[in-house]
Amino acid sequence: MFQEADNNGYFIKSKSTGKTQLVDFGEMFCGTIDLTNPNAFEWYKQVVKDMLSFGFAGWMADFGGEYLPVDDTMYFDGTHAVEMHNLYSEMWARLNKEAVEEEGKMNDTFVFMRSGFGRSPGHTMTSWAGDQNVDFSYADGLASVIPAALSLGMSGMGIHHSDIGGYVSLICMVRTEELVLRWAEMNVFTPIMRTHEGNRPYRNWQIYTMDTTTESFARLTSLYHRLSPYHSFVAEETASKGIPAQRPLFLHYSDDPTTYDIQYQYMYGPDILVAPVLFEDKHDWSVYLPPDQWVYLWNGTEVVVPRSRDGTGMSVTVNAEMGNPPVFYRKGSPWSKLFQTFAKDEVKPGRTPEGLSLKLLLKEPNIFLFLLLRKMFWYVFFNV
């Protein structure tokens, strides 16, 4: 393929030599297809179509702008290399979408990518958070994917997800069972559950490392599947109204000033509030609840949160054994009957996942595998 593209002049070129500009991707030197060249665009689109003809039903359309050369770079249509840093990702997304669309595979294919720019949401089915560290860190671990999802959502990327367990292992950084399961339990309440072995699979804990891990993960995927009707509803709302699936609390509780400062909780759709556990060895967790009537998902305990004088709600502390991430739903939700079925899935402290008693400590106000529903996600894609 390289020789064919090179012979046809389909790569980005060096200004000084007029020849293909090779780029260091970290593990190899590669040519980058010049998507501003109509012939190169169509040629590469056909390569993607060929994958579909081989029976592929989806792929990670990776990169798309991260390794673009800037110095001594020449594009077919004359666009400056600095401008192309952002524009290339839009073209890359459009190429993948058009390939699938023209082959009539829109209902049968799933493509996800990490790069993007202003018009990317119109061509990207779903984004993912890239390569997180295999840890709990706020900088680039489990905690980092929450503000990433909220920021992308408010920027038009309404369907987003992350690698369960993270990806990057460096030196002493090793993925643990706890991290894998904490990440997975959070992703139950996101549009997509997708695992990744990481860049050093042999050093990282996997969902198949021990039978108990596999059993715990299987339980979480079954919970995700049980939420299918709600997942579909959220996706349809994202498509029709442009509201992201994972939302900052202030989108629904704009009168509560505290919600504007919360980055590590989110609403999943209009009715579920999620507060993922972000530290190791935690058995309880503090959750901020805006003024409303809330029900704890795992045992049905109701919490009425009155509005304080300044419009804020309150914080509560709940038991948070692995397998039961802190999740509340609005009492008046039309999905209450579905949510009530989760009360039997409580995990008792010191036991394997099967059942969690709410330890409610009201504080002063102002504190606080890859299961894919293809139809659901393509609905979003069609209606962007």
Q: Inter-axis angle of helices 228-241 and 374-382, to 10 degrees?
A: 10
Query: What residue type is assigned to position 254 of the chain?
Result: S
Question: Which string of b and e fits 35-70 if b means at least 16 CB within 10 Å?
Answer: bbbeebbebbbeebbebbeeeeebeebebbbeebbe
* DSSP track, 309-360: TTS--EEEEEE--TT---EEEETT-TTHHHHHGGGGGPPPTTS-SS------
**CB-based contact 60:112 (threshold 8 Å):** yes
pLDDT at 359: 37
Question: Residue 21 and residue 71: Cα distance in Å, rounded?
Answer: 10
> What tens digit of pLDDT does each residue of 151-170 get?
999 999 999 999 999 999 98
Strands (E), the chain: 13-14, 22-24, 29-31, 58-60, 73-74, 110-113, 126-128, 160-161, 193-194, 246-247, 266-268, 272-274, 284-289, 292-296, 302-305, 314-319, 327-330, 370-371
Tokens at residue 231, please?
């997942």
**Distance between CA atoms of 227 and 304, rounded to whole angstroms?**
24
Query: What angle in degrees, to the nearest 10, is found between the helix axes of 38-53 and 81-102?
Result: 40
Q: Which of 102, 108, 131, 236 is catalytic?
A: 131
48 touches 79 (CB < 8 A): no
| Residue count (the chain) | 384
> What confidence score (pLDDT) does residue 348 get?
64
Regions of the chain short of the pLDDT cut 70: 348-384
Buried residues in 197-227 as b, exposed as e (16+ CB within 10 A): ebeeeeebbbbeeeeebeebbebbbebbebb
DSSP labels, 222-245: HHHHHTHHHHHHHHHHHHHH---S
State which H helix or E strand residue 48 sits in.
Answer: helix 38-53
Using alpha carbons, list the distances in angstroms from residue 336 to 118, 288, 306.
Answer: 37, 21, 21
What is the maximum alpha-carbon separation in the chain? 72
93 with 126: CB under 8 angstroms? no
Residue 349: the pLDDT is 63
pLDDT at 250: 98
CB burial of 260-278 (b: ≥16 within 10 Å; e: otherwise) equals eebeebbbbbbbbbbbbbb
Instruction: Bin 281: left if φ > 0, else alpha if -120 < ψ < 50, else beta.
Output: left
pLDDT at 368: 23
Cα–Cα dist 76/9, whole Å: 9
Find the catalytic residue in 62, 101, 103, 284.
62
Closest C-alpha among 215, 259, 269, 231 to residue 368: 259
> Minimal CA–CA distance to 45: which of 85, 100, 84?
100
In tens, the pLDDT along 170-221 reads 888 999 999 999 999 999 999 999 999 999 999 999 999 999 999 999 999 9
| Inter-residue contact 3 to 60 (CB < 8 Å) | no
Please give the CATH topology (third level) of the domain spanning 1-128: TIM Barrel (3.20.20)
Q: Per DSSP, what are the bridge partners of residue 246? A: 268
Could you give the percent of the chain with pLDDT greater than 90?
79
Residue 131 annotated as catalytic: yes
Catalytic residue chosen out of the listed positions 4, 6, 24, 66: 66
Residue 211: active-site member: no
Distance between CA atoms of 9 and 12, rounded to whole angstroms? 8
In the residue annotation, 101 being an active-site residue is answered as no
Model pLDDT, residue 379? 38
